[in-house]
Amino acid sequence: MKKILATILLASSAFAAPNTLSLDTQSSVLKWTGKKVTGEHFGTVKVASGNVELADGSLKGGTFEIDMKSIFVKDIEDPKYNKKLTDHLLSEDFFAALEFPKAQFTINEAKKLGDSKPGEPNYEITGTLNVKGIENQVTFPAIVEINGKEASAKATVTLDRTKWNVKYGSGKFFENLGDKLIYDDFTVELDVKASA
């Protein structure tokens, strides 16, 4: 009887143990959009590595590393002006990518949302985002799909850049910017995939 109970407990604990899936960095995409008084710019930044933790068919956690040196501007076709903006975003005015080449996001809580319809957010994700060595908590809704040993997530996250000491062109810190004003909030659209 003891052997039977031990076998059952061992099997149940193995079933409950988290599965770790590795992020597919080739098919995972992060798209950023920043807005200013005179318009907007958008582009991408690459996910360097990451993993997600599943347990009992649900998302439980995960960590993601973002390659800040991969910031790419997509809306400016002229190579000269594209490089000018890209270099500025990589500089100390913005993300100081030379000093802080990686940003990290760690999922602290993944809460299932009840009564979500297909195509609507079914999770609320709360995590810690570390940019330029500064950590802040962010919470956002996400569409998470889990199919066996594969998982994907889509979300649009709005971030206040000044919380990570990105102050260039911010009306909070500089006066009389006129049409040089850059809005503090920017968005990141994420479409990430992971598998065993």
SS (H, E, C) the chain: CHHHHHHHHHHHHHHHCCEEEEECCCCCEEEEEEEECCEEEEEEEEEEEEEEEEECCEEEEEEEEEEEEEEEECCCCCHHHHHHHHHHHHCCCCCCCCCCCEEEEEEEEEEECCCCCCCCCCEEEEEEEEECCEEEEEEEEEEEEEECCEEEEEEEEEEEHHHHCCCCCCCCCCCCCHHHCEEEEEEEEEEEEEEC
- Domains, in order of start, for the chain: 18-195 (2.40.128.110)
pLDDT tens over the chain, length 196 residues:
444 444 443 443 334 456 999 999 999 999 999 999 999 999 999 999 999 999 989 999 999 999 999 999 999 999 999 999 999 999 999 999 999 999 999 999 999 998 888 889 999 999 999 999 999 999 999 999 999 889 999 999 999 999 999 999 999 898 888 888 999 999 999 999 999 8
pTM of the model: 0.86
Q: What is the pLDDT at residue 46?
A: 97
Residue 176 confidence (pLDDT): 82
